C-alpha cells in the first residue's frame, strides 16, 4: 500500500519546494515530481511539514494531590488534531523510588497512545542507587534527565544534587533539563503572601517573579558549565532567563531555551481577572508575564537564542483547580495546549511575519529532534524518515473553543482565539489520523522512541572539556616544608 501526498509544497527547517511525498508502511520512501500511489492525499495549496514534536507534556501526572486530567489516550488525540505527531513526557519517581520502577509505571500509562512518544527521566532525589540506575535508563533509550529547582518539599533538588547528577549526565553523554525557579525563595514568598491574606490566584504570580527564574537559570548554566554538559531550560518565560541563555550561548555554551506557546501569547493580566476560576485555570509555573517578556521570547525564536516551542501540557479541570480556593499554593499548577500549539504559533508567528514557515518547522519539530538525538527519524521530510507528517492548510480557520476540543478538561486557556492555519491531514508513522475535522486516531498505534546518548554536541563538549581540564603542574625544586 503506497500513499502519495500530492501537489503540496514541502517545507522543512531549511527548504521549501514543490514535491509529492510517497509513503509505504511507516516511512517516507520517495520525494519527487508526479509520484503515483494507491491512495492519494490532495495537498494542493498546502505545506507538507514534519509533524510537530512536543518535548514537554505531563499526561496523567500525579501532582499536587491529584492527577493531570489528560492521559496518553486523550492527550495524543489532542496532539494529532493540532498537527503534533510525537510527545515527550516526564517520568517522575517519588523520593527514594527506583528510577526503573517509575519507568515501568510510566510505561504502563502509554498503551492507548496514538502518537509515538518518549520520556525524560526526572531526578527527584539523589543517592548511589540513582547514580547507578541512570546508566540503565540511558541504555533503555531515555537520554535526558529533568531537574526541578522549584517545588520545595516535593520534586525540588538542591545544587549539590544537581551538580552530581549533571556530572553523571556528562559521563553518560546525556542531556540535563531544568525547571529553573529558585524554590527556596518561592516557598518563602508564598508563605509571606498567604500570611498577609494574599491568597487568590494572583498570589501565585506574585510569589514567582521573573528574577526568581533568571537567578535559577544562571545557576543551572553555571553548574552545567562546571560539569561539562549541555543544558536544556524548559518553559523559559522571561527576559531574565532568556538573557542568561543568550549570554551563555554567546560564550559558546550549549544551552537551549524552550518558550511555551502560552507564554508567547497570554499575559499576566489573566491573573487579575475578577473571576476566580478564570484566573486559577491559568495558574502554572512559571506564571504568564507581561508584554516586554513576550517580545523577548519572540525575539529569541527569531534570533535563534531560543530553540523550541512546547506546551508543558498539564491539564486540570476547574474542579481540580478549586482545590486551591482560599490558598493559591494548592491550585494544581499547569495548563493545556497540545491541540493548539501549532495553529496558535502559526497564527501569531507566521501570519504576522514574526517567523518564516521554515523557522516554524525548526522550532516546533526539527530543533528538538536534533537536540534529543532522534533526527532525521523524527523532525524531517526525508526518504527513510518516519512518515510523521502534517499537511498544513494555511487558509483553514477556526475559533478555539473548549466545546470542540479533544482535551477532556472543561475550558481552554486560548478560548475565543481565532486561528488561520490548520492541518488538512495528519499522518503518524504513515497512518492518516486526521482529515480536517475528522479524527481517525488509533489508540495503541504509538510506539516508544528510544534515543541514543552521546549526540554530536555531547561528544564535542567532552572533547573540549578534556583538552581544557585542570592539569597538575609538574615542578622541580619544591621548597622543603616546615622551614
Nearest to residue 391, comparing CAs of 1, 2, 69, 7?
7
C-alpha dist (Å) from residue 116 to 57, 317, 351, 448, 457: 13, 25, 29, 6, 25
Which of Zn ion, ligand URP, none has residue 333 at its interface (CB below 5 to 8 Å by kind)?
Answer: ligand URP
- Residue closest to ligand URP, measured at CB: 333
* Residue 84 near ligand URP by CB under 6 A: no
Q: 267 contacts which partner out of Zn ion, ligand URP, none, CB within 5 to 8 A by kind? A: none
Q: Which of residues 156-185 bind Zn ion (CB under 5 A)?
A: 179
Please tell me the distance from the alpha carbon of residue 125 to that of residue 251, in angstroms, as a whole number: 31
CB closer to ligand URP, 50 vs 55: 55
Q: Does 337 bind ligand URP (CB under 6 A)?
A: no
Q: Is the Cβ of residue 293 or residue 421 nearer to Zn ion in the bound state?
A: 293
Report residue 105: phi and psi, to 5°: -65, -40
334 binds, among Zn ion, ligand URP, none (CB under 5 to 8 A by kind): ligand URP
CB of 90 to ligand URP, least distance (A): 7
What SS3 state is found at 438? strand
For 265-274, the CB contacts below 8 A with 24+ separation are 265/294, 265/344, 265/348, 265/414, 265/417, 266/413, 266/414, 267/291, 267/294, 268/205, 270/413, 271/201, 271/202, 271/204, 271/205, 272/202
The interface with ligand URP within residues 364-383 (CB under 6 A) comprises: none
Q: At what angle do helices 159-172 and 210-227 cross, to 10 degrees?
A: 50
The neighbouring-strand residues paired with 144 are 175
What is the smallest separation between the CB atom of 89 and ligand URP, expressed in angstroms? 11
Q: Which residues contact 403 (CB under 8 A, 6 or more apart)?
A: none
Is there binding between residue 429 and ligand URP (CB under 6 A)?
Answer: no
263 binds ligand URP (CB under 6 A): no
Q: Which region among 107-115, 118-126, 248-256, 438-446 touches Zn ion (by CB under 5 A)?
A: 438-446
Task: Give residues 9-68 in contact with ligand URP (rule: CB under 6 A).
Answer: 58
Q: Which does residue 453 bind out of Zn ion, ligand URP, none, counting CB within 5 to 8 angstroms by kind? A: none
Please tell me whether the peptide bond between 376 and the residue prior to it is cis, using omega within 30 degrees of 0: yes
Q: Compute φ and ψ for 304, nearest 5 degrees.
A: 90, 5
CA end-to-end distance (rounded Å), the chain: 88
Applying CB under 6 A, does 312 fall inside the site for ligand URP?
Answer: yes
The count of chain residues that interact with Zn ion, using the rule CB under 5 A, is: 4
CB of 57 to Zn ion, least distance (A): 8
CB of 27 to ligand URP, least distance (A): 33
- Compute how many other C-beta atoms are within 10 angstroms of the C-beta atom of residue 460: 12
Least distance in Å: CB of 363 to ligand URP? 19
Count of other CB atoms within 10 angstroms of residue 294: 21
- Smallest gap from Cβ 155 to ligand URP, in A, equals 8
Total residues in contact with ligand URP, by rule CB under 6 A: 8
Tell whether residue 182 is a contact of ligand URP (CB under 6 A). Answer: no
Choose which of 46, 78, 174, 284 interacts with ligand URP (CB under 6 A): 284
Does 334 help bind ligand URP (rule: CB under 6 A)? yes
C-alpha cell at 197: 491574606
Q: Are strands 175-179 and 144-148 parallel, antiparallel or unpaired?
A: parallel
By a kind-dependent CB cut-off of 5 to 8 A, residue 293 interacts, out of ligand URP, Zn ion, none, with none
Nearer to ligand URP, 285 or 307 (CB): 285
For 358-409, give the DSSP string.
HHHHIIIIIHHHHHTT-TTTSS--STTSB--EEEEEEEEEEE--GGG-SSSS
SS3 86: strand
Which of Zn ion, ligand URP, none interacts with 289 (beta carbon under 5 to 8 A by kind)? none
Q: Cell numbers of 277, please? A: 476560576
285 sits near ligand URP (criterion: CB under 6 A): yes
Looking at the Cβ atoms of 92 and 174, the one nearer to ligand URP is: 92
State residue 380 phi and psi, 5-degree precision.
-135, 150
Q: Which of 445, 446, 449, 453 binds Zn ion (CB under 5 A)?
A: 445
Which of ligand URP, Zn ion, none is residue 203 near (CB under 5 to 8 Å by kind)?
none
445 binds, among ligand URP, Zn ion, none (CB under 5 to 8 A by kind): Zn ion
The binding site for ligand URP (CB under 6 A) comprises 58, 179, 284-285, 312, 314, 333-334
The binding site for Zn ion (CB under 5 A) comprises 179, 312, 442, 445
Amino acid at each position: 500500500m503506497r500513499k502519495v501526498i500530492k501537489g503540496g509544497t514541502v517545507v522543512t527547517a531549511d527548504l521549501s519546494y514543490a514535491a509529492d511525498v510517497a509513503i509505504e508502511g511507516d516511512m517516507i520512501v520517495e520525494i519527487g515530481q508526479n509520484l503515483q500511489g494507491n491512495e492519494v492525499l490532495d495537498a494542493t495549496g498546502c505545506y507538507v511539514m514534519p509533524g510537530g514534536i512536543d518535548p514537554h507534556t505531563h499526561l496523567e501526572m500525579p501532582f499536587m494531590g491529584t492527577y493531570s486530567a489528560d492521559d496518553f489516550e486523550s492527550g495524543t488525540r489532542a496532539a494529532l488534531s493540532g498537527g503534533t505527531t510525537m510527545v515527550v513526557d516526564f517520568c517522575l519517581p517519588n523520593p527514594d523510588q527506583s528510577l526503573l520502577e517509575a519507568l515501568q509505571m510510566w510505561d504502563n500509562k502509554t498503551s492507548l497512545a496514538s502518537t509515538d512518544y518518549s520520556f525524560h527521566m526526572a531526578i527527584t532525589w539523589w543517592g548511589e542507587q540513582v547514580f547507578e540506575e541512570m546508566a540503565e535508563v540511558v541504555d533503555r533509550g531515555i537520554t535526558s534527565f529533568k531537574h526541578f529547582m522549584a517545588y520545595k518539599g516535593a520534586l525540588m533538588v538542591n545544587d549539590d544534587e544537581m551538580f552530581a547528577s549533571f556530572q553523571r549526565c556528562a559521563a553518560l553523554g546525556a542531556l540535563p533539563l531544568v525547571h529553573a525557579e529558585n524554590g527556596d525563595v518561592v516557598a518563602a514568598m508564598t508563605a509571606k503572601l498567604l500570611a498577609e491574606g494574599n491568597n487568590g490566584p494572583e498570589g501565585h504570580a506574585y510569589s514567582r517573579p521573573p528574577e526568581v527564574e533568571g537567578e535559577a537559570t544562571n545557576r543551572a548554566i553555571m553548574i552545567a558549565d562546571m560539569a561539562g554538559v549541555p543544558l536544556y531550560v524548559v518553559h523559559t518565560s522571561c527576559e531574565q532567563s532568556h538573557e542568561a541563555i543568550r549570554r551563555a550561548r554567546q560564550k559558546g555554551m550549549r544551552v537551549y531555551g524552550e518558550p511555551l506557546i502560552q507564554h508567547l501569547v497570554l499575559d499576566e493580566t489573566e491573573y487579575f481577572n475578577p473571576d476566580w476560576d478564570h484566573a486559577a485555570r491559568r495558574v502554572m509555573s512559571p506564571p504568564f508575564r507581561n508584554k516586554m517578556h513576550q517580545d523577548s521570547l519572540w525575539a529569541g525564536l527569531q534570533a535563534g537564542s531560543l530553540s523550541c516551542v512546547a506546551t508543558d501540557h498539564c491539564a486540570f479541570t476547574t474542579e481540580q483547580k478549586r482545590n486551591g480556593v482560599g490558598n493559591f499554593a494548592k491550585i494544581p499548577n499547569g495548563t493545556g495546549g497540545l491541540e493548539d500549539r501549532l495553529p496558535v504559533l502559526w497564527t501569531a508567528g507566521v501570519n504576522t511575519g514574526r517567523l518564516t514557515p521554515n523557522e516554524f518547522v525548526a522550532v516546533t519539530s526539527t530543533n528538538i529532534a536534533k537536540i534529543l538525538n532522534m533526527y532525521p527519524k523524527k523532525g524531517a521530510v526525508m526518504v527513510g524518515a518516519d512518515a510523521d507528517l502534517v499537511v498544513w492548510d494555511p487558509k483553514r480557520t477556526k475559533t478555539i473553543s473548549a466545546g470542540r476540543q479533544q482535551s477532556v478538561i472543561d475550558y481552554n486557556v486560548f478560548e475565543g482565539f481565532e486561528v488561520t492555519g490548520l492541518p488538512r491531514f495528519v499522518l503518524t508513522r504513515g497512518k492518516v489520523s486526521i482529515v480536517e475535522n475528522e479524527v481517525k486516531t488509533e489508540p495503541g498505534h504509538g510506539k516508544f522512541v528510544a534515543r541514543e546518548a552521546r549526540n554530536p554536541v555531547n561528544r564535542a563538549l567532552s572533547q573540549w572539556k578534556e583538552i581544557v581540564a585542570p592539569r597538575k603542574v609538574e615542578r622541580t625544586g619544591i621548597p622543603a616544608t616546615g622551614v
